[in-house]
Amino acid sequence: MRKFGEIEGISRGQIFANRAELAKVGIHPPTQAGISGSSKEGADSIVLSGGYEDDRDYGDRILYTGAGGRDENTGRQIADQQLTRTNLALAKSKLDQLPVRVTRSHKHKSEFSPKEGYCYAGLYMVEDYWREKGISGHYIWHYSLVSCERLESKEQTGIRDNSPDYKETERKAVVVNRIIRDSTKAKRVKEWHRYQCQVCGLALETSAGLYAEAAHIQPLGMPHNGPDDESNILCLCPNHHILFDNGGFTINEDLSLNGIDGDLVTTKKHKINLNFVAYHQAHNQKID
């Protein structure tokens, strides 16, 4: 099973002698490839090693180049890159909003690189990706990655981001790990339904694969405190997710829909707890 998010016992700024050491602790399993990931699961980690001329490093924001299209010996771009394999994995990470571990090599020329070895730089999100003509004139895939630290400090409007103390870093790691843990349950429900909406059957096709959303029946937060469990999660398209969360329709005991024609689509594996359905209905009564 691919490990997303922070690796226990490894902190930001930690130096590793070589790629074998990085692989051993689980930060970046491949010993040579720059992107760790698969097209189905997404990418969990990247390494900036200085091999790609189109890379740009601004510290908390990184422009990373996809893999492929290079001459084995010279490293020059001699062909177009494709949105397949590990390049597709990074696209999937954007679609599913999965955090990517970033490590810089001493060979990567930037003020954020270590003098020697490999420096773990923490978690980043893939904000965007696109195809463009690189310096060589061949097409490359470019990924814009933003540090999770920066994303979180942006949310705290008006508060200056103080020098990161250990406790704060730990707290953030716990939060990110919870999001990942949640997303594995959400992913399981989506896969049971093959990403098809349980209301309308639609599965959105993107260049990075199918897209669906996980909707909690009894909401997670205060004051509802619904559980994060498969029996409390629905696989919905974005439109029906919004409608469900905002009283556009409810689900009856027999799984027929109230407010929309039809029935909720179910599968054998996915057991929905009717208590949560009743809770949702009680809190979303339509006034006719």
Partner DNA sequence: GGGCCCGCAGGG
Partner DNA sequence: CCCTGCGGGCCC
- Residues contributing to the site for DNA (CB under 7 A): 2, 18-20, 23, 29-40, 47-52, 55, 64-68, 70, 73-74, 85-86, 88-89, 105, 107-108
Residue closer to DNA, measured from CB, 210 or 278: 210
Least CB distance to DNA at residue 54 (A): 8
CB atoms within 10 A of CB 278: 16
| Closest approach of DNA to the CB of residue 78, in Å | 11
Q: Min. distance of Cβ 76 from DNA in angstroms?
A: 9
Tell me how far, at minimum, the Cβ of 43 lies from DNA, in Å: 9
Using a 10 angstrom Cβ sphere, with 0-12 exposed, 13-18 middle and 19 or more buried, the burial of residue 248 is middle
Q: Can the peptide bond before residue 99 be classed as cis, meaning omega within 30 degrees of 0?
A: no
At its nearest, how many Å lie between DNA and the CB of residue 67?
4
Q: Do residues 183 and 96 lie in contact, with contact meaning Cβ atoms separated by under 8 Å? A: yes
Distance (Å, whole) CA 32 – CA 16: 15
Looking at residue 272, what DSSP letter applies? P
Smaller CB separation from DNA, 86 or 93: 86
Nearer to DNA, 23 or 146 (CB): 23
CB of 51 or CB of 227, closer to DNA? 51
**What angle (nearest 5°) sits at the alpha carbon of residue 150, between those of residues 148 and 156?**
110
- For the record, the structure tokens of 75 come out as 């490293």
Compare residues 16 and 276 and give the one whose CB is closer to DNA. Answer: 16
Between 94 and 172, whose beta carbon lies closer to DNA? 94
Q: How far apart are CA 22 and CA 47, in angstroms?
A: 10
Would you tell me how many other CB atoms lie within 10 Å of the CB of residue 88?
23
Radius of gyration of the chain (CA): 22
Q: Least distance in Å: CB of 7 to DNA?
A: 14
Q: How far apart are CA 102 and CA 100, in angstroms?
A: 6
